[in-house]
Amino acid sequence: MSRKDYLEELGILGGIPAFDDKLHVGRPNIGNRERLLARINDLLDRRWLTNDGPYVQEFEREASKLLGVDHCIAVCNATVGLEIAIRAAGLSGEVIVPSFTFIATAHALEWQEITPVFCDIDPATHNIDPRRVEEAITPRTTGILGVHLWGRPCDVDALTEIARRHDLRLIFDAAHAFRCSHGGHMIGNFGDAEVFSFHATKFFNTFEGGLVATNDAGLAQKVRLMRNFGFSGYDEVSYIGTNGKMNEMSAAMGLTSLESLNEFVAVNHRNYEQYEKGLSGIPGVRLSTYDEAEKCNYQYIVLEIEETDTGINRDDLMEILWAENVIARRYFYPGCHRMEPYHSYYPDARLRLPATERLTERVLVLPTGTAVSPEHVAVICGLIRMALSQGPAIRQRLLDRETAVGVDARNKKRA
């Protein structure tokens, strides 16, 4: 790992990459290995590997305690968790959803032939804009599916009020928001149900996994049955269901990760504060902030790059960082509405989504988590500062190099 002082040292201009190994966004956090292995030994001894095993039950109890939610149902991943929650809540027709989200949010609707109606976001929060939600309601609308993007809560109060006034169901994709709060209450307690993801790339993981949280006992009972094919007894099926069960290995990982949860958050917080300091005062860069008065997990370091102030755009910066082995990512580019099948269904959707369109061109997410040290963050901030403060000069050198390569190729062809 090395700091760089001169443009010529940049990897993109032929220098040696700042990092020997790639630094990724969302490298898994691993808790205490011995505790995990002991649990795995136990579950193997028990020969109870799945089907609502003791670790899944314990994990659900612990999650309920942590979130202060009456019902927590562990599932195999958040995508299936969303599909089940959407079905159990009786959604149909059209559901209003942001386009600036991971594609699974939209697919969970489309998979069951419910039309996702893409709604624009508030550029300040990156979350679904309640004013735009209200405009998108039609007689076919049955629900709103909000996303607590980056773990920052949606405007829960406004959405709850809109849902109440229009008699709509309200579900939250809380894939990013485990251990976050809104108004002092833990995420998991809002809307009809909230769905968390524990995918390996999330700061808290169960390899693959998720959780449906709700305070509605009837809905919880339905979700529980639907998670297990709809079985309500050995030989009795009450609903259409699927296989959404979490297995014992994942629950063992979940219980072990819970023991390190505060440590994971502390590391994310430390990295976030260091990025905040290291990137402050660079024109054209905005780091998304977290509300320190709430519980946050700080799992995403989100930059917005404004080309008019920097001379280079987000994609240029990404290329510069990749050449240093900093694998920064363009989340959620290019937006669900530009991906299939939605792009073909609604070719004009972009006209209704100006804030989403703008943001998908500007957002860049940087590595954090327990695999990222303060030294890593210092070097990354130095690289970004150099790249953005000397953007036009870097661009010129790349152009010169392209021209030189072109001339060289033409000369070789002639020879």
Ligand X SMILES: Cc1ncc(COP(=O)(O)O)c(C=O)c1O
Output 78 or 170, the one with its CB closest to ligand X: 78
In angstroms, what is the minimal distance from the CB of 395 to ligand X? 33
Task: Report the distance separating Cα 219 and Cα 189, nearest Å.
Answer: 13
Task: Report the distance separating Cα 204 and Cα 221, nearest Å.
Answer: 26
Task: Report the distance separating Cα 164 and Cα 75, nearest Å.
Answer: 28
In angstroms, what is the minimal distance from the CB of 244 to ligand X? 11
Output 197 or 271, the one with its CB closest to ligand X: 197
Output 96 or 387, the one with its CB closest to ligand X: 96
- The residues that touch ligand X, with contacts defined as CB under 6 A, are 77-79, 101-102, 104-105, 147, 173, 175-176, 197, 199, 210
In angstroms, what is the minimal distance from the CB of 350 to ligand X? 20
- Indicate the helix (H) or strand (E) that contains 309: helix 307-310
Output 194 or 324, the one with its CB closest to ligand X: 194
352 to each of 65, 133, 289, 306, how far by Cα in Å?
Answer: 41, 12, 26, 22
Output 19 or 300, the one with its CB closest to ligand X: 300
Output 31 or 81, the one with its CB closest to ligand X: 81
Q: Give per-residue burial for 60-84: e unless 16+ CB within 10 Å, then b.
A: bebbbeebebebbbbbbbbbbbbbb
In angstroms, what is the minimal distance from the CB of 210 to ligand X? 5
Output 85 or 133, the one with its CB closest to ligand X: 85
3-state secondary structure of 214: strand
φ, ψ for residue 289 (rounded to 5)? Answer: -100, 165
270 to each of 143, 273, 377, 386, how far by Cα in Å?
Answer: 38, 5, 10, 23
In angstroms, what is the minimal distance from the CB of 197 to ligand X? 3
Output 98 or 284, the one with its CB closest to ligand X: 98
Q: For 51-73, what is the HEC assignment?
A: CCCHHHHHHHHHHHHHHCCCEEE
239 to each of 72, 83, 114, how far by Cα in Å?
Answer: 20, 14, 19
φ, ψ for residue 97 (rounded to 5)? Answer: -150, 150
Count of all residues that appear for the chain in the document: 415
In angstroms, what is the minimal distance from the CB of 297 to ligand X? 13
In angstroms, what is the minimal distance from the CB of 137 to ligand X? 23
- Cβ atoms of residues 96 and 141 within 8 Å: yes
In angstroms, what is the minimal distance from the CB of 263 to ligand X? 22
Task: Report the distance separating Cα 162 and Cα 350, nearest Å.
Answer: 24
Task: Report the distance separating Cα 196 and Cα 246, nearest Å.
Answer: 13
Q: Number of helices (H) and strands (E), helices first, in the chain?
A: 15, 16
In angstroms, what is the minimal distance from the CB of 239 to ligand X? 21
Output 141 or 250, the one with its CB closest to ligand X: 250
Task: Report the distance separating Cα 171 and Cα 177, nearest Å.
Answer: 14
